[in-house]
Structure 1
Amino acid sequence: MAIAVKKTGVMIGVLGALALGAGLFMYEALMDSRPVFIDPSDQELVAIGKDIYANNCLSCHGAKLEGQPDWRVRQANGRLPAPPHDETGHTWHHPDAVLIDITKNGLVPGVTAPPGYVSDMPAYNKLLTDHDIRAVLAYIKSSWPKQALVAQKEITQQRPQ
């Protein structure tokens, strides 16, 4: 009888540990699904992002984040020029999760672009780490005026409906 009680106690302990582990895993998964806001006040991240931007983004989006001329007018090939990432563009209208996805995967028709959309935006998922992408976005956001930052933070922190 004493052996059966010990085995039952061990089983209860093992099951409790498994339940606790599963609960912690679910909690972390829920916490990781919270909208992430990339903070442009992190000067170290911005400095890293500035260098990465210069090496990977500047040729299309401009030295001053100004984008290409006539960025709203389709070219002969049907594609749009690279948009500005300063406050005159629409980058600040998107949540950080979308900006990260576009940078990692390019503009994907039906996901981050309208169906059938063709873009010159490359996917950087094999070239840049997640930290690099966050750094570039911190650098871009560091140029925005306060009202654009506040609006973009609110957009980022909204939960999907």
Structure 2
Amino acid sequence: MRKYLGNTGWIGAILTGVALVIFAVWHYAGTASTGTVSAEVLAQGRQVYVDQCASCHGADLEGQPDWKSPLPSGRLPAPPHDATGHTWHHSDDVLFRIVKEGTAAIVGGGYESDMPGFGGVLSDAEIQAVLAYIKNTWPQREAEYQQEISSR
């Protein structure tokens, strides 16, 4: 009988561990590009966008005019974050790093950009929220493509 109870303890521990793994996977999936995002996170992301991004990228994520043509400085204007831009061509990791570290830090090779890193201004959670807000505006085709490259 004692041996049986001992095994029950191990079985319980294993089941608890499995439950924790399932919860962790479920939680991560809810925050990754393939999951749904809470209205609270989207509202936070929208506010961060308004406060930190809209002055360059536009109130409606439309970017600066003629964003594909270099400015007199040689740098490119701020691109749109809606479906007409290229934001959705990048994985979650690349987008996060661009916002946190700045475009020049990610591109490297002496590339110059007016996009600063916001790592000293925004928390990781705020960066994730603003990216969730932006991604939530994309049509299905762009969102699915971005999810696909983020899962690679």
TM-score between both structures, scaled by the size of structure 2: 0.76
Does residue 141 of the first structure (1) align with residue 139 of the second (2)?
Answer: no
Tell me the residue number matched to 1:6: none
Aligned pairs for 1:47-62 within 5 A: 47-62=43-58
CA shift, 1:116, in A, is: 2.0
Q: Distance in 2 between matches of 1:140 and 1:52?
A: 11
User: Following the alignment from structure 2 to structure 1, what is the Cα–Cα distance between the partners of residues 84 and 53?
Assistant: 17
Counterpart position of 2:3 = none
Q: Aligned partners of 1:56, 1:40: CA distance in 2, in Å?
A: 24
- Any idea what the Cα deviations from partners look like across 1:3-54, whole Å, max 9, x if unmatched? xxxxxxxxxxxxxxxxxxxxxxxxxxxx9xx997344643221110000100
Equivalent position of 1:18 in the other structure: none
Residues 104 and 110, structure 2, Cα contact 8 Å, conserved in 1: no
Identity of aligned residues (%): 48
- Mapping for residues 143-158 of structure 1, pairs under 5 Å: 143-158=137-152
SS in 2 for 1:57: helix
Contact 2:89–2:146 (8 Å) recurs in 1: yes
Higher helix share: 2
Partner residue of 2:39?
Answer: 43
Decide which of 123, 126, 130 is 1:129's aligned counterpart: 123
* Residues 77/40 of structure 1: CA separation in 2 closer, same or farther (3 Å cut): farther
* Equivalence map 1:1-161=2 (5 Å): 37-38=32-33, 39=35, 41-109=37-105, 112-113=106-107, 115-158=109-152
Structure 2, unaligned stretches of length 5 or more?
A: 1-24
* Greater Cα radius of gyration, structure 1 or 2: 1
- Normalised to the residue count of structure 1, the TM-score between the two structures is 0.72
With a CA cutoff of 8 Å and minimum separation of 6, indicate the structure with the bigger relative contact order. Answer: 1
Q: CA RMSD in A?
A: 2.0
Compared CA separation, residues 40 and 82, structure 1 to 2 (3 A): farther
Give CA deviations for 1:94-129 in whole Å, capped at 9, x if unaligned. 0000000000000135xx225221000011001100
In 1, Cα distance between equivalents of 2:108 and 2:75: 13
Provide runs of 4+ in structure 1 moved above 4 Å: none
In structure 2, the CA distance between the partners of 1:84 and 1:40, relative to structure 1 (3 Å rule), is farther
Q: 2: CA distance between counterparts of 1:40 and 1:87?
A: 19
Supply the distance in 2 between the matched residues of 1:97 and 1:86 (Cα, whole angstroms).
18
Give the 3-state SS of the residue equivalent to 2:75 in structure 1: coil
Q: Which amino acid aligns with 1:37?
A: A
